[in-house]
Amino acid sequence: MILQDKVSFITGSTRGIGWATAREFARNGAIVILNHRGSSSLLEERCRELDAEFKGTVMGLTADVTDGPAVRNCYLEIFRRFKRLDVLVNNAGILQDALLGMISEETIRAVMDTNLVGSFMHLQEASRLMTRNRRGSIINVSSIIGRFGEEGLTAYAASKAAVIGMTIAAAKELARKNIRVNAVAPGFIDTAMTNQMPPEKFQQRMAAVRMGRIGKAEEVAQAIAFLASDMSSYVTGQVLGVDGGMVI
């Protein structure tokens, strides 16, 4: 199993790509630390599901990625329990769809706070914990929108582009400590977010995918697992598109 006993923290991991990643990691033998900002009952339910299916070590941490002290407490708890962190998957994110001129300052700040500042804080805390063992892998979940942009998603695109910049810079800084930092950029993926799209827009997006089908969250999770594992031990500072050849 490619992630056997790797202590892995996955933010925003109770649904969508985060949940698929948690399952993929558990399937591959990782010690999985789930995170959710909302109800602890959902987190507990997810922990139980993983435990029942994969029988591995699972922990749940309720914390909002925009809450600095809460983020820090996550790492104190991880340190207390495991004394190390091998993998961070910076997955938690939000998407707000609005045209320029109609985006409030509050919306811009909320998107940047969750998608960029929250990821940044996690990266910083995780890298310090990983520095002690001089090894680790951090995977930031960006988006095809962060690479190529999309109308109606300027705030989201800006935040996800910033995640790519953060990834490349952090990879350079942390390489000498044997900590790898990479990003995945999912394309059109079947999640609750895409299921809420108007049919017209859904078809428009589908037409842009060269492979002619929507991606599965599990397929993004597999790419993340590859970057987390030693199978990518010489890969850092990369942005891996998981988009079926999508063009936008």
Partner 1 sequence: MAPHTYESASQCLGDLVLVDFRLESTCESQFRKAERHTMVNSSMEKLKNAFVKVLGVGPDGNFESMAYGETQGWDSIAHMNLVAEIETAFDIMLATEDVIGMRTFVKAKEIVARNGASFA
Based on the shown chain and the rule CB under 8 A, indicate whether residue 73 belongs to the binding site for partner 1. no
Based on the shown chain and the rule CB under 8 A, indicate whether residue 79 belongs to the binding site for partner 1. yes
Residues shown for the chain? 248
Distance of CA 248 to the CA centre of its chain: 22
**Of 84 and 205, which has the nearer Cβ to partner 1?**
84
Segment lying near partner 1 (by CB under 8 A), choices 74-82, 90-98, 183-191, 204-212: 74-82
**Of 72 and 205, which has the nearer Cβ to partner 1?**
72
What is the DSSP track for 60-105? EEE--TT-HHHHHHHHHHHHHHHS---EEEE---------TTS--H
Interface pattern 184-223 for partner 1 (x via CB under 8 A): ----------------------------------------
Please say if 156 is a catalytic residue: yes
Footprint of partner 1 on residues 96-155 (CB under 8 A)? 124-125, 128-129, 131-132
**Of 68 and 245, which has the nearer Cβ to partner 1?**
68
Distance of CA 113 to the CA centre of its chain: 15
CA angle, residues 184, 239, 208, in degrees to nearest 5: 70
**Of 127 and 154, which has the nearer Cβ to partner 1?**
127
Q: Is residue 162 within 8 Å of residue 140, measured between CB atoms?
A: no
Q: Which of 19, 120, 156, 188 is catalytic?
A: 156
| C-alpha dihedral, 143 to 42 to 79 to 73, nearest 10° | 80
Q: Which of 41, 48, 76, 109 binds partner 1 (CB under 8 A)?
A: 76
d(CA 66, CA 80): 22
Residue in the structure block whose two tokens are 């925003």: 12
Based on the shown chain and the rule CB under 8 A, indicate whether residue 75 belongs to the binding site for partner 1. yes
| Residues at the site binding partner 1, with contacts judged by CB under 8 A | 72, 75-76, 79, 83, 124-125, 128-129, 131-132
Q: Which residues are catalytic?
A: 156
